[in-house]
């Protein structure tokens, strides 16, 4: 039988409160507790609890024929513990079945793999420890934030001991090849790769309730037919999506929970497919080819690259300023600084600064709590400026010569940031206005399914 790998990402960032310039140096708490609690409670009710109940029902009915995979970011786990402990208990019930695999990822849901290998490793270790403590299992497969992947990241992941990794089946990665096979990293062949079938995944995640889609409404019968029509020699289909698809992005009234219940049931009853976890797939199948990826890819937008997070001067400035303190933070034991360091690394903060206006603008606007990328940048940089002051003061209290040197560097970095920020604001505001004035590029026509 052929394999289906059904994987869900669970993530919630700690959202920042409105933090003004005059708060810098005066108020060291950055997070909007009210919004964080409100949003997590709402999504727990609308998505996590009912979706977990559907999956638990499928496991109870079909046993080992149905398996599912999750990665849950550290920031999501902390918010569940703080605001919705019933979600943790619900995931624990799933874990006890033995039919669920939990993947390793970065604790902060960060892009640190692009910047600092030591911090990348620290975050993965922190996340692995959290998963083991909660669910009693040690992850054996890895999923990087936003499915970001490259040859360099593959090497880091393999060095950490993981033999299986998930990423996007991007066209620039595959060319003419199909994502429906197991692959391996070309330069690091011991690392096996599961590639997302983005068309079949996005049919659920993004198009399910689009009434102008030529295939609406998407029924379980129709979807199972599409899966059965996959070329018989293609032995694996990877369906990867945000778990918030169910009940949050696609509302309950759209029929999404009925679909989640029905399509696995119908697929299993065909006798042609079995649900497997990434680690099982890695054990059962052999890679058909090596994949070379010199430049990072992701699962975001049409480009499947990094431009959703690092595509303009605002994002680049915020990202580089944050990671100037990596080496100093490696020696910080203060729990509040460590907490803020984790929370400020979440990829969401850089996503909010995106200035892409065209076919993916609606998706970005849906997830963005700010009125503009400019506002997101200003708010984040105000927070970051205060954070740098605190790290600077902490480093200055350590009598180690290297730490004093780091403190001096941080002080200079802060002064430089203030100057750069003023220039950046003017430059970016101009570019945003200019981009908005251009006629919007039409989205490509929706692909009609066969």
Under 8 Å between Cβ of 346 and 13: yes
412 band by pLDDT with thresholds 50, 70 and 90: low
DSSP of 98-109: T-EEE-B--TT-
Bridge partners for 149 per DSSP = 297
Distance CA 279, CA 286 (A): 12
Q: How far apart are CA 248 and CA 3, in angstroms?
A: 28
Instruction: Look up residue 270 and give its two tokens.
Output: 């065909």
Given a cut of 90, whether residue 88 has pLDDT beyond it is: yes
Strands (E) across 233-272 are located at: 236-242
- Three-state SS for 391? helix
Percent of the chain with pLDDT over 70: 86
Our measurement of the distance from residue 347's CA atom to the centroid of its chain's CA atoms, rounded to an integer in Å, reads: 8
pLDDT confidence of residue 437? 43
pLDDT at position 362 is 52
C-alpha 198 chain-centroid distance:
15
Domains of the chain: 2-291 (3.20.110.20), 313-437 (no CATH)
Q: What is the mean pLDDT of residues 94-117?
A: 98
Q: How confident is the model at residue 439 (pLDDT cuts 50, 70, 90)?
A: very low
Q: Looking at the whole model, is its pTM more than 0.85?
A: yes
SS3 assignment for 318-353 = HHHHHHHHHHHHCCCCCHHHHHHHHHHCECHHHHCC
Point out the residues that are catalytic: 146
Rg (the chain; Cα; Å):
22
Q: Which two tokens stand for residue 177?
A: 């090849």
Residues 45-63 pLDDT 10s: 999 999 999 999 999 999 9
What's the pLDDT tens digit per position in 109-168?
Answer: 999 999 999 999 999 999 999 999 999 999 999 999 999 999 999 999 999 999 999 999
pLDDT of residue 365: 55
**pLDDT over 80 (residue 441):** no
Average pLDDT, whole number, for the chain? 90
């Amino acid at each position: 039988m052929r394999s289906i790998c059904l994987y869900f990402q669970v993530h919630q960032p700690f959202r920042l409160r409105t933090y003004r310039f005059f708060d810098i140096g005066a108020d060291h708490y950055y997070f909007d507790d009210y919004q964080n609690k409100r949003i997590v409670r709402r999504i727990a009710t609308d998505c996590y609890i009912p979706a977990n109940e559907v999956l638990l029902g499928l496991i109870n009915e079909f046993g080992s024929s149905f398996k599912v995979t999750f990665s849950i970011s550290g920031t999501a786990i902390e918010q569940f513990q703080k605001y919705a402990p019933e979600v943790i208990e619900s995931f624990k019930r799933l874990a006890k079945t033995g039919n669920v695999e939990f993947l390793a990822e970065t604790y902060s849901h960060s892009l640190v793999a692009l910047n600092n290998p030591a911090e990348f490793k620290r975050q993965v270790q922190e996340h692995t420890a959290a998963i083991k403590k909660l669910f009693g299992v040690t992850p054996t497969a890895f999923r990087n934030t936003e499915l970001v992947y490259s040859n360099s990241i593959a090497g880091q992941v393999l060095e950490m001991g993981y033999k299986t990794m998930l990423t996007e089946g991007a066209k620039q990665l595959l060319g003419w090849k199909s994502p429906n096979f197991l692959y391996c990293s070309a330069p690091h062949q011991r690392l096996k790769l599961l590639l997302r079938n983005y068309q079949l995944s996005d049919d659920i995640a993004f198009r399910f309730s689009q009434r102008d889609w030529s295939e609406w409404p998407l029924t379980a019968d129709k979807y199972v037919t599409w899966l059965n029509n996959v070329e018989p020699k293609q032995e694996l289909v990877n369906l990867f999506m945000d778990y918030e698809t169910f009940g949050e992005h696609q509302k309950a009234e759209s029929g999404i929970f009925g679909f989640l219940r029905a399509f696995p049931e119908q697929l299993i009853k065909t006798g042609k497919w079995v649900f497997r976890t990434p680690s099982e797939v890695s054990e059962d199948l052999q890679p058909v080819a090596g994949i070379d990826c010199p430049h990072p890819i992701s699962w975001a937008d049409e480009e499947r690259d990094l431009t959703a997070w690092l595509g303009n001067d605002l994002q680049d400035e915020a990202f580089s300023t944050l990671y100037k303190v990596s080496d100093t933070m490696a020696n910080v034991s203060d729990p509040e600084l460590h907490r803020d360091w984790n929370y400020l690394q979440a990829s969401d903060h850089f996503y909010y600064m995106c200035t892409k206006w065209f076919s993916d603008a609606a998706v970005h606007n849906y997830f963005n709590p700010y009125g503009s990328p400019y506002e997101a940048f200003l708010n984040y940089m105000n927070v970051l400026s205060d954070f740098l002051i605190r790290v600077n003061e902490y480093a200055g209290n350590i009598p180690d010569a290297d730490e004093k040197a780091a403190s001096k560097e941080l002080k200079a970095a802060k002064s430089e940031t203030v100057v750069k920020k003023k220039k950046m604001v003017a430059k970016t505001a101009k570019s945003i206005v200019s981009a908005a004035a251009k006629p919007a590029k039409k989205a490509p026509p929706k692909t009609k399914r066969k």
